[in-house]
């Protein structure tokens, strides 16, 4: 039997933010059960905490969506760091991920981590293709500041600015359009789209990844990190407040800070709160 914890992440209010299942001692779980357990929880991610490969580090953390393992994700890192701190496993941590060791800090229900892996910038999807995925008109896509772009820090997202907050509220994922776009613009997350509006350092966002069994994500730290890095490189703004989940009734708040060196992203720090809402035990043969 294996204990698990459920946290709502990027919130300090139960039933807000993004749910996360954490298995704080997963060392005995058979490899072929990991994906099945993540699918059973059916949250956007589940984390499995294992002994570190380097004894100087805190833990190795494996992250699974309902359909695949991913090397890096934001809300699982925040939630896992808070969970480990709640369990007495330290305040300053180094967590081993698929993207390498990542420094994290957690205390009193708050956590932050700093991602230093390179920002990868990829394709430039056509605005009409992105609009079709979101059930919007091409005129709802704002291109005067930035056209849609695929970028990520371990996971690539299609980042698209919309013209108004009302357009963001109207967005609804169209699965067939996502399938078409995924063929045209392949990424690891099957054309996951982070749509947003921006007012200076304040961003309102929604993230859709229906092909990965995530019709909408209430809070996406990895996409927030990628978006912050792209915007910082564009105009020098280095701190952002990202509101996500409001249109699905799970308000989330993500804070980011970008470190630039010679105009390029050297690191992105992501911060937020998490609160435990459930705990239990898996009974496996």
pLDDT for the residue 92: 98
In the CATH hierarchy, which fold is given to the domain comprising 2-112+273-282? Diaminopimelate Epimerase; Chain A, domain 1 (3.10.310)
What pLDDT score was predicted for residue 187?
Answer: 83
Report H helices in 103-209: 127-133, 165-170, 175-184
d(CA 153, CA 135): 27
pLDDT tens digits, 127-151: 999 999 999 999 999 999 999 999 9
Q: Give the Cα separation of 15 and 6 in Å (integer).
A: 11
Q: Please state, in angstroms and rounded to a whole number, the distance separating the CA atoms of residues 46 and 44.
A: 7
* Residue 188 confidence (pLDDT): 76
Closest by Cα among 227, 254, 229 to 78: 254
CB 76 within 8 A of CB 10: no
Phi and psi, residue 149, nearest 5°: -145, 145
State yes or no: pLDDT of 18 exceeds 70. Answer: yes
Percent of residues, the chain, with pLDDT higher than 90: 95
How confident is the prediction for the chain on average, in pLDDT?
A: 96
Q: Domain segments of the chain: what residues?
A: 2-112+273-282, 120-272
45 is known as an active-site residue: yes
**43-91 tens-digit pLDDT:** 999 999 999 999 999 999 999 999 999 999 999 999 999 999 999 999 9
pTM: 0.95
Give the residue from 184, 185, 137, 201 showing the smallest Cα distance to 164: 137
- Percent share of the chain, pLDDT over 70: 100
Residue 118 CB: number of other CB atoms within 10 A?
14
- The pLDDT tens digits of the residues spanning 206-258 come to 999 999 999 999 999 999 999 999 999 999 999 999 999 999 999 999 999 99
Q: What is the CATH number of domain 120-272?
A: 3.10.310.10
- Helix or strand run (H / E) with residue 145: none
Strands 252-261 and 239-244: antiparallel
Q: What pLDDT, on the 0 to 100 scale, is given for residue 171?
A: 98
Residue 194 CA to its chain's centroid (Å): 10
Say yes or no to pLDDT of 189 above 90.
no
Cβ count within 10 A of residue 89? 15
The single residue of 31, 45, 96, 255 carrying the catalytic annotation is: 45
Instruction: Using pLDDT thresholds of 50, 70 and 90, give the confidence band for residue 285.
Output: low
Supply φ then ψ for residue 71, to 5 degrees: -80, -20
**Residue 275 pLDDT > 80, yes or no?**
yes
CA atoms within 13 Å, Cβ hemisphere of 181: 34
């Amino acid at each position: 039997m294996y204990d698990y914890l459920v946290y709502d992440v990027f919130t300090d209010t139960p039933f807000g933010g993004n749910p996360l299942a954490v298995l704080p001692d997963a060392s005995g779980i058979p490899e072929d059960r990991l994906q099945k357990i993540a699918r059973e929880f059916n949250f956007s991610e589940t984390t499995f905490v294992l002994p570190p490969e380097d004894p100087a580090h805190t833990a190795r953390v494996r992250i699974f969506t309902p359909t695949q393992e991913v090397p890096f994700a934001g809300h699982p890192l925040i939630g896992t760091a808070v969970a480990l701190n709640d369990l007495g496993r330290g305040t300053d941590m180094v967590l081993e991920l698929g993207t390498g060791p990542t420094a994290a800090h957690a205390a009193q229900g708050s956590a932050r981590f700093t991602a230093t892996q390179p920002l990868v910038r990829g394709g430039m999807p056509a605005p009409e293709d992105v609009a079709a995925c979101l059930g919007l008109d091409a005129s709802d896509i704002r291109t005067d500041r930035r056209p849609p772009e695929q970028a990520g820090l371990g996971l690539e997202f299609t980042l698209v600015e919309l013209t108004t907050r009302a357009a963001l509220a109207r967005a609804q994922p169209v699965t067939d359009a996502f399938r078409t776009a995924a063929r045209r613009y392949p990424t690891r997350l099957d054309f996951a789209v982070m749509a947003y509006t921006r007012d200076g350092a304040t961003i309102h966002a929604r993230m859709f990844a229906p092909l990965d069994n995530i019709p909408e994500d209430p809070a996406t730290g990895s996409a927030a990190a990628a978006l912050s890095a792209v915007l910082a490189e564009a105009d020098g703004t280095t701190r952002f407040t990202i509101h996500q989940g409001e249109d699905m009734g799970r308000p989330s708040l993500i804070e980011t800070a970008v470190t630039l060196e010679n105009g390029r992203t050297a690191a992105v720090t992501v911060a937020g709160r998490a609160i435990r809402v459930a705990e239990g035990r898996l009974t496996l043969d």
